[in-house]
Amino acid sequence: MRRFNSQALILIGAILFVLYLAGVPLVMLLYGSIRSAPIGEPGAAYTIQNYVKAYFDKEFYFLLLNSIYYGIGTCTLTFLIGTFLAWVSERTNTPFKKLFVVMSLIPFIIPGILSTIAWILLLSPKIGLINIVIKELLGLESAPFNVYSMWGMIWAEAIHLYPLVFLLMSAAFRNMDTSLEEAALTAGSSTFATFSRITLPLMRPAMFSVLLINFIRGIEAFEVPALIGVPARISVFTTKIFLAIHQFPSDFGLAGAYAVTLLVISTTGVLIYGRITRGGERYATVTGKGYRPRVIDLGVWKYATLAVSFAIFFLAVILPVFVLLWSSFIPYYGVPSRELMEKMTFANYHYILNYPLALTAFKNSFYLSVGSATLVMLLTSVIAWITVKSKLPGRALLDNMTFIPIAMPGIVLGVSLIWVYLTLPIPIYGTIWVLLLAYITKFMPYGIRAASASMIQINKELEEASLTAGGTWFQTFRKIILPLLMPGFTAGWIYISIIALRELSTSILLYSYNSTVLSIMAFDLWEGGQYTYVCALGVLMVLLLIAMAFTARKLGARLGIAG
Amino acid sequence: MAEKRDMVQIEALEKYFGEDKERVHVLKGVSLNIPEGSLYTFLGPSGCGKTTTLRCVAGLERPDGGRISIDGQVVFASGERVYIPTNKRPIGMVFQSYAIWPHMTVAENVAYPLTIHRRPKAEIRQRVVDVLKVVGLDGLEDRPAPKLSGGQQQRVAFARALINEPKVMLLDEPLSNLDAKLRVAMRSEIKLLQRRTSITTIFVTHDQAEALAISDQIAVMHGGKLIEIGSPHQLYSRPKRRFTATFLGLTNLIDGKVLEVDGDSRPAKMQTKKGILSFIPAPGLKRDQAAVISIRPENIPVHKEKPQSLDNVVEGTVKEAIFMGDAYHCKIAVGDDVLAVHTHPFNTISPGEKVYLHLDPKSCNGLPADDTEGVDESMLGD
């Protein structure tokens, strides 16, 4: 009897690959943080010196405080903005609320580094557009806003992260059984009492999990702390790790100790999050029942909610996009004026397209984005088949393994992979391949989420029908499972290719000259003070993202179920 | 009729579901042989193991013990560690949900068993046209699968199962997703199709009327065990087990104890609370054994006057008589018991009336009262 058929090979291969991707970096990070000498140097011994150095540094506690302050500020502000918009769009009769969903998704397509740059260009005390305009209008002596502050950082982060809150809270509002509220109303409770005693407690788990996930995202964030926090001398964990490696000589041990600390914090958060949502949220698309939400008539107040909502979109979408577009067409940075208008030019685009590294960066980013999205979705489709459809022992563990990287902040993954590929005899350090592996590892959790949710919806008999028709496991997977999985596959693919194209925090520790990607190029141009060039590059990046998402949708529709 | 060879042989099939503490014994030594060319039904209530047995034949479940062979080839044998995977077995299967692939057209669905074996395009096209004609779907080749009605989907499922000319067709409750009218129409179509193709067919259902209407042979299952095998007529009119009598159609059970018995199918006598009654004993019924008499409501003539020179007459009072159009459905109190009796609609009958019921010995089947014991070999088929 042939034991090792295609099925066994593919399944075992996928399992080993996941174990390698998720497990090895973790082990190597812990190993690296207890080594005395930098990687590759002889005479290294086991030591706790790195932790001693990290924890007995007074700065450590500033770091911790800053990080927590930043995390709490970010999650609170994103929560307020996102929940307000979700409530307005799901539960009120505010006009144009259908538009909100679309508008809330637009910030998603703007890479974090660009949104950060946009807010510096808007709120910098010296060159910030908003500051200059308000100063002139009100005749102020000094700039009213300073982006180089903790509040500036929190604002720049929150206005970028709120779409996730909007989506999660909209789902929470939508999936709530409104008859529970109606029961309270018929029992004689007032609208306000119903809200505070029924609606709020019912929403509490959803609210807490949303706050928690944004706290983690705040603590893991890199772009805003690096671009705003570093010049403002406000250090958080992620920038500290980055600087420990980017100083000369690099202190890998110290970076490792900080990275482990950050990992412990984020893992705790993810574990609590998992405990609250108990896997239910992961498959929210499947469990979403079609309750008809009870819509509150706001009377004239609906114009107030409309105004506030559009003000948020103006700040989150229109202003940043405008400032990026504007800056990309002018020769030097300045407030829009007739004089500057006349000088508008394509010179920035011309410069970017002729920049020596630009072609490499575009190619690398494109290959990495398409490659990692495709590989992640293929890998996680197989894994999802194992965890959802098979009865293999240990499949729950495999599911958890695939999820491990979600607790790994990008910068921590970067540090871990430095250790892995400087230690293991796999000669890919400094090549595009290490970035590809990093991206696959990092985006695996998103892939498995999309793939499992779709896999659950595929009736087992569709697969069995293929087996009884004489199809092998591989034929069944390719001809039946994958096409039926296409909606989830495409959604996951689009999401991953977008976040891969804007990835910065992991790439920045792993790139070399030849494996530069677009976000790194933007980062370097910014560091070099070439603001208008960065904006031109950013506009091109966004166009590429839109084109990719559009193409993927078209292709996915053709390959998947028609109608 | 000449002795037909067995197409499917199942021996001592064992299957457990779940692990450790939650382990459930779902098949407890099921053995049966399915003759070539027959339409063979597994009948039983949900959870009786009928679908599991079918899935073991298909190879979709791996049994924990026993042996299965199809067309003389062993496809599973626990002792010899033989397990032929589903896709290598000469079967075609129709699923409860039909399992029509929504991303394909009718023709693509039906052609699938041929395309994966890389048959020439021309041959595939011809055979798809032929098989669609057989199931009455000619002309619908290019329709996308989601645009089919329930009945059409079922025909596609049949065409797909038939196209590779399987040795055995497996039908897993294929009618349960159709509305009542279509179900009746499809069941005669299935029977005709099976007659025409004479492919050995296993049909799983929990619906006794369906089983009676369609089958050559029925295997009644309960609690993971085989209860009884027989033709629809045998099982309905001469059941050998109490479970068969109650599961197939309506019946009245009268408790008692066997007084005399003289071999199979000769009249015997039983002591009951309604006096001594004559009956036809099931094989193996012994003297002094606790037993029941099973008699169907439509086999009980009602007399207004006490009939003379008839055995097995009991007196009762009409409790309820409901006019059903084709019959009166009556509840008649006899002593402490209430018997269900169906009478001809001409025979007007009203509550409170005193009547005499003729429990014709030829219609009285004496069965062992205890149904939990193992199955006597003599009850399994003829």
pLDDT class of A79 with cuts at 50, 70, 90 = very high
Verify that B223 and B276 share a domain, yes or no: no
Verify whether the Cβ–Cβ distance A467 to B60 is below 8 Å. yes
Burial class (CB in 10 A: 0-12, 13-18, 19+), B340: middle
Burial class (CB in 10 A: 0-12, 13-18, 19+), B360: middle
Name the residue of chain B whose CA is nearest to A475's CA.
Answer: B116
Among the residue ranges A43-47, A213-217, A239-243, A450-454, the one predicted with the least confidence is: A43-47
Burial class (CB in 10 A: 0-12, 13-18, 19+), A341: exposed
In this predicted structure, the answer to whether residue A379 has a pLDDT above a threshold of 70 is yes
Judging contacts by C-beta atoms under 8 Å, the chain B residues touching residue A2 are none
User: Residue range B198-204: average pLDDT?
Assistant: 95
Last residue of one domain, picked from the residues B178, B206, B237:
B237
Q: Does any CB of chain B come closer than 8 Å to the CB of residue A462?
A: yes
Residue B139: inside a domain: yes
Judging contacts by C-beta atoms under 8 Å, the chain A residues touching residue B89 are 468
What digits encode the pLDDT tens for the residues A479-491? 999 999 988 898 8
Domain ranges of chain A: 1-35+350-563, 52-345
pLDDT on residue A253: 83
Judging contacts by C-beta atoms under 8 Å, the chain B residues touching residue A486 are 103
Q: Does any CB of chain B come closer than 8 Å to the CB of residue A480?
A: yes
Q: Does any CB of chain B come closer than 8 Å to the CB of residue A561?
A: yes
Percent of chain A with pLDDT over 70: 94
User: Residue range B299-308: average pLDDT?
Assistant: 89
Q: 């993927």: which residue's tokens?
A: A552
pLDDT on residue B70: 96
Which of B29-38, B262-271, B366-375 has the highest mean predicted lDDT (pLDDT)? B29-38
Verify that B160 and B184 share a domain, yes or no: yes
Other C-beta atoms closer than 10 Å to the C-beta of B297 total: 19
Q: 């067995």: which residue's tokens?
A: B6
The amino acid present at A406, given as its one-letter code, is I
Task: Residue A465: name the closest of B28, B164, B364 by CA.
Answer: B164
Angle CA(A29)–CA(A32)–CA(A33) in degrees, nearest 5?
85
In this predicted structure, the answer to whether residue B334 has a pLDDT above a threshold of 50 is yes
- Measured over the CA atoms of residue A503, residue A504, residue A505 and residue A506, the dihedral's sign is positive
Which of A28-32, A72-76, A272-276, A300-304 has the highest mean predicted lDDT (pLDDT)? A72-76
In this predicted structure, the answer to whether residue B146 has a pLDDT above a threshold of 80 is yes
User: Residue range B310-336: average pLDDT?
Assistant: 90
Residue B360: inside a domain: yes
CB B340 within 8 A of CB B250: yes
Verify that B213 and B337 share a domain, yes or no: no
Fold adopted by A52-345: MetI-like fold (1.10.3720)
What digits encode the pLDDT tens for the residues A305-334? 899 999 998 998 899 999 999 999 988 887
Verify whether the Cβ–Cβ distance A459 to B117 is below 8 Å. no
Residues constituting chain A: 563
Residue B379: inside a domain: no
Q: 């041990």: which residue's tokens?
A: A253
Q: Does any CB of chain A come closer than 8 Å to the CB of residue B170?
A: yes
Verify that B46 and B77 share a domain, yes or no: yes
Number of domains chain B is built from? 2
- The average confidence (pLDDT) of chain B is 89
pLDDT class of A100 with cuts at 50, 70, 90 = confident
Among the residue ranges A10-19, A50-59, B3-12, B213-222, the one predicted with the least confidence is: A50-59
Verify that B300 and B198 share a domain, yes or no: no
pLDDT on residue B376: 46
pLDDT on residue B342: 93
pLDDT on residue B381: 43
Residue B143: inside a domain: yes
Tokens (6 digits) for A131:
């500051």
pLDDT on residue A282: 41
In this predicted structure, the answer to whether residue B366 has a pLDDT above a threshold of 70 is yes
Burial class (CB in 10 A: 0-12, 13-18, 19+), B350: exposed
Compute the distance between CA of residue B97 and CA of residue A460 in angstroms, rounded to an integer. 10
Verify whether the Cβ–Cβ distance A468 to B146 is below 8 Å. no
Last residue of one domain, picked from the residues B177, B211, B237:
B237
In this predicted structure, the answer to whether residue B382 has a pLDDT above a threshold of 60 is no
The more confident residue out of A291 and B222 is: B222
Respond yes or no on whether the N-terminal peptide bond of residue A249 is cis (omega within 30° of 0).
yes
CB A116 within 8 A of CB A152: no
pLDDT on residue A143: 84
User: Residue range A324-351: average pLDDT?
Assistant: 86
What's the pTM value of the predicted model, to 2 decimals?
Answer: 0.82
Verify that B107 and B52 share a domain, yes or no: yes
β pairing state of B328-334 and B252-260: unpaired
Percent of chain A with pLDDT over 90: 38
Tokens (6 digits) for A57:
């540094």
Verify whether the Cβ–Cβ distance B101 to A484 is below 8 Å. yes
Residues of the domain holding B143: 6-237
Helix runs in B171-231, H state only: 180-197, 208-214
Compute the distance between CA of residue B254 and CA of residue B312 in angstroms, rounded to an integer. 12
Judging contacts by C-beta atoms under 8 Å, the chain B residues touching residue A464 are 58, 60, 86, 93, 95, 99
pLDDT on residue A430: 85
pLDDT on residue B229: 95
pLDDT on residue A7: 78
Other C-beta atoms closer than 10 Å to the C-beta of A8 total: 12
Compute the distance between CA of residue A93 and CA of residue B351 in angstroms, rounded to an integer. 64
- The average confidence (pLDDT) of chain A is 86
Judging contacts by C-beta atoms under 8 Å, the chain B residues touching residue A475 are 116
Question: How much helix, strand and coil, in percent to the nearest 5, is found in chain B?
Answer: 25, 35, 40
Verify that B38 and B111 share a domain, yes or no: yes
Residue B309: inside a domain: yes
What digits encode the pLDDT tens for the residues A499-544? 899 899 999 999 998 999 999 999 999 998 888 999 999 999 999 9
User: Residue range B288-297: average pLDDT?
Assistant: 92
Asked if A1-35+350-563 and A52-345 have one fold, the answer is yes
φ, ψ dihedrals at B25, nearest 5°: -85, 100
Fold adopted by A1-35+350-563: MetI-like fold (1.10.3720)
Task: Residue B93: name the closest of B138, B133, B57 by CA.
Answer: B57
In this predicted structure, the answer to whether residue B58 has a pLDDT above a threshold of 90 is yes
CATH of the domain at B16: 3.40.50.300
The amino acid present at A298, given as its one-letter code, is L
The amino acid present at B127, given as its one-letter code, is R
Angle CA(A360)–CA(A361)–CA(A363) in degrees, nearest 5?
65
Compute the distance between CA of residue A156 and CA of residue A225 in angstroms, rounded to an integer. 10
User: Residue range A381-395: average pLDDT?
Assistant: 87
Residue B377: inside a domain: no
Q: Does any CB of chain A come closer than 8 Å to the CB of residue B85?
A: yes
Size of interface A-B (CB pairs under 8 A): 78
Verify that B281 and B153 share a domain, yes or no: no
Verify that B142 and B17 share a domain, yes or no: yes
Compute the distance between CA of residue A404 and CA of residue A412 in angstroms, rounded to an integer. 13
pLDDT on residue A276: 76
pLDDT on residue A292: 59
The more confident residue out of A34 and A366 is: A366
What digits encode the pLDDT tens for the residues A106-146? 777 888 999 999 999 999 998 888 998 888 888 888 888 99
Chain B contact probe: residue of A468, A478, A486, A558 with most B CBs at under 10 A: A468
What digits encode the pLDDT tens for the residues A60-73? 888 899 999 999 99
Q: Does any CB of chain A come closer than 8 Å to the CB of residue B177?
A: no
Compute the distance between CA of residue B118 and CA of residue A435 in angstroms, rounded to an integer. 40
Q: How far is CA A257 from the centre of its chain?
A: 24
**Crossing angle of the two packed helices A112-123 and A531-559, in degrees rounded to 10:** 140
Residue B283: inside a domain: yes
pLDDT on residue A35: 82
Verify whether the Cβ–Cβ distance B87 to A560 is below 8 Å. no
Other C-beta atoms closer than 10 Å to the C-beta of A331 total: 12
Verify whether the Cβ–Cβ distance B102 to A475 is below 8 Å. no
CB A294 within 8 A of CB A178: yes
Residues facing A504 on adjacent strands: none
Residues facing B323 on adjacent strands: B328
Q: Does any CB of chain A come closer than 8 Å to the CB of residue B17?
A: no
User: Residue range B73-95: average pLDDT?
Assistant: 92
In this predicted structure, the answer to whether residue A187 has a pLDDT above a threshold of 80 is no
What digits encode the pLDDT tens for the residues A252-294? 888 888 899 999 998 888 888 877 776 444 433 333 344 556 6
Compute the distance between CA of residue B114 and CA of residue B379 in angstroms, rounded to an integer. 42
Verify whether the Cβ–Cβ distance B170 to A468 is below 8 Å. yes
In this predicted structure, the answer to whether residue A251 has a pLDDT above a threshold of 90 is no
Residue B378: inside a domain: no
Cβ contacts of B380 within 8 Å, gap of 6 or more: B31, B32, B226, B228, B229
Of A467, A480, A486, the CB nearest to B101: A480
